[in-house]
Structure 1
């Protein structure tokens, strides 16, 4: 259905005269008549009855009018959705309890005037495709992985180094430690069923294991964070890694302990990815906010993989 004919029909219905509708639409009266006739042929009904005082809606015209108005409103919404100055900023945060979620909540508090759409995409390839197609404006990721450089049209900025902490139950051998050196975790079972081969976090933990001789078990079904916390709380031989800015809640009787890891402190490198041609004005505001709140990366005494990247694309150094 031609939206110009629908728009002309609504203008004529509101004006009650084809001549006034023509003036409003900046076309000739003949053009209005042709458009109305075309719409009537498409619908196979009469929409107007000509009278001495102008044009009067038929019963069919009256029935069609509210739907015609909704068609035009839907068309306007569709146009607005692709105008970057009018639509919400769409950002992928991977998971609702992640550090990226906390960063976006802080951004929303600082800029409540900016409308946001927050999405959660699991795989980096899905996120990259969405960024490149314009389905989303930005994604929080670890930026790269071994042998998988970013496409040249994707820009990135490292925005947060999140320290890893050891999470144990109350009966674990390290539960009373105020901190634990990374090398001191060798020989302890660290259970992380959420590690999925091929993901950027799998690459991160593969490097961590290889460099420090740790034992990370990803066996068993992943029933989610609640089941993981229940098992760690009840199993003295198991511990898990948790990001220091990951927000999880558990029952008080679990007695779980968050223990800082040191010498070096492993940090997970969060970065923001976006398309170089993305012109959404709120994206520039988000980037500026993250740049202002980001701490120094690769600080002395920290560890991140060699493939992690700094702002500007330089490889990390420890």
Structure 2
């Protein structure tokens, strides 16, 4: 149904004249007549009868009137829902316990008036497709993995270098260490069942293994962080890497140890991605907030793969 014709019908019904409706719409009276005639053909009924003073609604016109008003109200609500600044800013954070979720919580505290919709997408390819389609406004990712440059219409900026810690159970050989070097991890089994081939985090850990001769195992099903902590706590031969800003619920009986890694410290490089033509005003606010709160990147004594985007 032509909403312009419905709007013309409402104005003519309220004014009782096609001429006044034409003046309100800044069109000719003939245009108003054509719109009403087209609407009547669509509905299969007559909506107006002519009188010496103008036009009056028929019985069918009177029946259609309240529905026409609701049609236009619904159309206005639909348009407002996607108008820049009127809908929530939709951001992909990968997972709700990670560092990027913490960045968004900080943004929400600083800008409580901005509506947010936080989602979790799988890998950078999925995130980029969602940015280009308008499904999301921004995504936190480690980019760009080897051979997978970002499209020209996707912008990015590095926002956080997150140090990795070694997480062990109380009976692990390194449990008592105040820190451990990357070289000192050679020969120890590091278990990370969440690594999925082809993802940006798999590319990161592949390079870490190649650079320092580590043993990282991704065997077994990934039952989530709680099951991972249970296994590490109960298995002296296994440890895992965990981001410094990852929020964990560690049962008191587990006795887990979180040990800094040094010489160098591996850091996971989080970047914000967005579409260059995205007009959402809250996106600019998010970028400004991250620029103001971001710590330094590429600090001395840290390591990242050579393919990550520069600061």
1:1-318 correspondence runs (5 A): 1-15=1-15, 17-48=17-48, 57=57, 60-311=60-311
Structure-2 change in CA distance of 1:119 and 1:58 (3 Å): farther
Unaligned runs of 5+ in 1: 312-318
Structure-2 change in CA distance of 1:22 and 1:180 (3 Å): same
Structure-2 change in CA distance of 1:186 and 1:281 (3 Å): same
Q: How far is 1:294 from its partner?
A: 1.2
Deviates further, 232-241 or 266-275:
232-241
| Structure 2: distance between partners of 1:38 and 1:5 | 8
* RMSD of Structure 2 on Structure 1 (CA): 2.5
Q: How far is 1:106 from its partner?
A: 0.9
Instruction: State how many pairs are aligned.
Output: 311
**Residues 143 and 272, structure 1, Cα contact 8 Å, conserved in 2:** no
| Structure 2: distance between partners of 1:282 and 1:38 | 42
| Structure 2: distance between partners of 1:168 and 1:26 | 74
| Structure 1: distance between partners of 2:93 and 2:69 | 37
Unaligned runs of 5+ in 2: none
Task: Please state whether the residue corresponding to 1:289 is helix, strand or coil.
Answer: helix
| Structure 1: distance between partners of 2:74 and 2:170 | 57
TM-score, reference length from structure 2: 0.88
TM-score, reference length from structure 1: 0.86
Deviates further, 209-218 or 224-233:
224-233
Question: CA deviation digits over 1:157-186, x for unaligned, max 9?
Answer: 111000111222233222232222222222
Q: How far is 1:49 from its partner?
A: 5.5
**Residues 6 and 68, structure 1, Cα contact 8 Å, conserved in 2:** yes
Structure-2 change in CA distance of 1:196 and 1:38 (3 Å): same
Structure-2 change in CA distance of 1:53 and 1:199 (3 Å): same
